Amino acid sequence: MLFTPVEIKETVDMFLRYKLDIRAITLGVSLLDCAASAGAETRRRIREKLFRLAGPLVRTGREIELEYGIPIINKRVSVTPLALVAAASDDTDYAPYAVLLDEIAGELGVDFVGGFSALVQKGFSEGDRKLIDSIPRALSSTERVCASVNVASTKSGVNMDAVRRMGEVIKETAEKTAARDGLGCAKLVVFCNAPEDNPFMAGAFHGPGEGESCLNVGVSGPGVVRAALEERPDADFDEIAEIIKKTAFKITRMGQLVGMEAAKRLGVPFGILDLSLAPTPEVGDSVARILETMGLEAAGTHGTTAALALLTDLVKKGGVMASARVGGFSGAFIPVSEDEGMAAAVRSGAISLDKLEAMTSVCSVGLDMIALPGDTSAATLSAIIADEMVIGMVNGKTTAVRVIPVPGKKAGDWAEFGGLLGGAPIMPVHSAKSDVFIARGGRIPAPIHSFRN
């Protein structure tokens, strides 16, 4: 007998009761060979290549869902950072590339396309500047396209000119999508140490160091981890560590099965499996509730950072035990609007923006899906980005900022983004200004421990 009745029931419970899912299968596609001197020709080549490689993606995902009974929430495509692809063209505005990607995604049935991106951690090329300038127009005129800009790395330091510009871009993007509570900003991430193989949106792109194409998988399951911990309410931390590690192992094995099968059917290499506890707005599918199950009265109180560090580390350890292909972010996400427990903690006052920043030093990513007052200045947004970038740079980890200054709303109001993006109470920011600090420009140097060659 391959599986015992207990193991079969456990797996069924993971899907039906505890909301385990494959959050995304993401087909990465290199577009470097699509570059041409004429923008129209570049876009023609992009269309042809994506239809050829990504055409079967949605159908393949649905077939696997039906055959294995495993829900796959999103089917996505990530592409080479468009700033690299479009740089050879005669285009001055890159928004038409985003419109093209959005049209292709709609025709293929793909949920999101990531890769309207630039890598500027050490400086700008002309193509980078054009892409960044185009982001507000691109995100306000599309539904499925996601953008990201990597402005810092442990090796290069923090490009403060890019940080300053991204504060302005976020502000402009929010204003252009004001009728939808600044929704465009929910599709825009600012990174430090961005991974090139991330299957999760909005930050996914197919890095220039990647191959021609590959299939990456993102697995979630905070509800499963919480349920496992609830069965042992008196466990000490050694036992909690083993519970989380073993649960992550089981989840990872399931994700690898799906990823390898999808890659095989698509005829592309299997890339990485990102085991990240990525929550949803549904009750019970929350990272914050896992932390509370460990014994915290509310996420955000004293001990929260310690609990989150434990969770993130053990998820990674369990994943690495189960698969040699663990990559991307892997760990625990703490998006406010996408996690009903996090949103509740913010609303009750248990979590502040400063506490979230502390938590990002040990979680998978950073300040994620946070609604801010609409009158937050571009300089303040840049200062928030700068703080988060330095956390990533100094600690040698990926950090990111995805914040939404909601036009016309103030601290304490509610912003609604819909679907998996959820909704969130608007968090206050400090009233003291950072304008002079941000206006200095230049680059914050890399830390001394970056010299490891």
pTM: 0.92
φ and ψ of 264, to 5 deg? -60, -45
- pLDDT score, position 237: 93
- pLDDT score, position 11: 61
Can you name the CATH fold of 1-453? Anaerobic Ribonucleotide-triphosphate Reductase Large Chain (3.20.70)
- pLDDT score, position 15: 57
φ and ψ of 298, to 5 deg? -150, 140
DSSP state of 326: B
* Apex 165 CA angle, 163 and 203, nearest 5: 65
- Please state the domain extents for the chain: 1-453
Q: Please, are residues 338 and 415 in contact by the beta-carbon 8 Å criterion? A: no
Percent of the chain that is helix, strand, coil (3-state, to 5): 45, 20, 35
Cα-Cα end-to-end distance for the chain: 52
Please tell me the distance from the alpha carbon of residue 391 to that of residue 184, in angstroms, as a whole number: 25
In terms of Cα–Cα distance, which of 42, 47, 105, 35 is closest to 77?
105
Please tell me the distance from the alpha carbon of residue 406 to that of residue 423, in angstroms, as a whole number: 12
- pLDDT score, position 399: 94
Please tell me the distance from the alpha carbon of residue 367 to that of residue 189, in angstroms, as a whole number: 10
In terms of Cα–Cα distance, which of 341, 353, 340, 338 is closest to 417?
338
Q: Report, as ranges of residue numbers, the positions in the chain whose pLDDT lies below 70.
A: 1-19, 280-284, 453
- pLDDT score, position 1: 38
- pLDDT score, position 9: 55
- pLDDT score, position 313: 92
